[in-house]
Amino acid sequence: MRFRSLLLAAALLPAAAGLAAAQSVFSSPLGPATRPALVELCGRIARQAVVQGSFTQVKHVSRLSKDFVSQGRFLFAGQRGILWEVLAPFPSTTIMSRERLVQRTPGGRQSVLEAGANPVFRRFADTLQAVFSGNLGAMEAEFDLFFLPGQGGPWRLGLVPRDQAMRALISSLQITGEEYLREVLLSEAGGDTVRYSFAEARSAEALTADEEELFR
């Protein structure tokens, strides 16, 4: 148990992610002035039932002074879950729904974690779902929020974990977006960063039958 939950979080977080910007979002705590804009933004995100596209992930390992790049596609399906498929250099798949987490490794090995058997996972899944479905209340329960509304340009949302044990692993998340999410920057406590850039994002009213099958 214990920090297993946090390592588990590591496997899930690629989906969560944040951003970079000229002005640091972390000097702008969410306040009465910016809250209405965030509420409006969350409402907009919540209305996007299905969003899919491609992503590029750049992990910077400070110990090795090296960047590791991988590419793939993603699918956020509101309340149903998240599909995260790495295509290169090593194919792997993560499918996370409220019920279970399914992971397929490059070698084709599959592991299934039932949410019912792991409340920590359930809590994490709920948090991620909160971020991607614009559930502000659930986000605030786990994170301190910072927000810079776009005013014509991209908006920026900063999240800092409230839980001390979580903060020992993740120092912050920054999310940038306009109509869709554009970038997520995850800063680890150890100094490494993971940057996700999203492209070719498009939304749909509902999942196709094939996609629906993935979350079963």
| Residue 89 in contact with other proteins, rule: CB under 8 A | yes
- Nearest distance from residue 97's CB to other proteins, in Å? 18
| HEC sequence for 130-195 | HHHCCCHHHHHHHEEEEEECCCCCCEEEEEEECCHHHHCCEEEEEEEECCCEEEEEEEECCCCEEE
- In this structure, which amino acid lies at residue 208? T
Rule CB under 8 A: choose which of 26, 169, 171, 204 binds other proteins: 169
In which element (H, E) is residue 60 found? strand 50-61
| Residue 57 in contact with other proteins, rule: CB under 8 A | yes
Rule CB under 8 A: choose which of 165, 179, 200, 202 binds other proteins: 165
Kindly give, in sequence order, each residue whose CB lies less than 8 Å from that of residue 56, ignoring residues fewer than 6 positions away. Answer: 69, 70, 71, 196, 197, 199
| Residue 189 in contact with other proteins, rule: CB under 8 A | yes
Kindly give, in sequence order, each residue whose CB lies less than 8 Å from that of residue 29, ignoring residues fewer than 6 positions away. Answer: 144, 145, 146
| Residue 63 in contact with other proteins, rule: CB under 8 A | yes
Kindly give, in sequence order, each residue whose CB lies less than 8 Å from that of residue 37, ignoring residues fewer than 6 positions away. Answer: 147, 149, 155
| Residue 33 in contact with other proteins, rule: CB under 8 A | no
**Nearest CA-CA partner of 54 in 68, 70, 72:** 72
Per CB under 8 A, which region of 18-26, 73-81, 128-136, 165-173 contacts other proteins?
165-173
CA distances from 22 to 26, 27, 113, 155 (A): 12, 12, 40, 12
Two tokens at 139?
A: 């986000």
Rule CB under 8 A: choose which of 122, 138, 160, 204 binds other proteins: 122
Q: How many residues bind other proteins (CB under 8 A)?
A: 47
Give the nearer residue to other proteins in terms of CB position, either 11 or 46: 11
- Nearest distance from residue 153's CB to other proteins, in Å? 27
Report the site for other proteins in 65-84 (rule: CB under 8 A).
Answer: 65-66, 68-70
| Residue 95 in contact with other proteins, rule: CB under 8 A | no
Contact residues for other proteins, defined by CB under 8 A:
1-7, 9-11, 13-14, 57, 59, 61, 63-66, 68-70, 86, 89-90, 92, 105-107, 117-120, 122-123, 163-165, 168-170, 186, 188-190, 192, 194
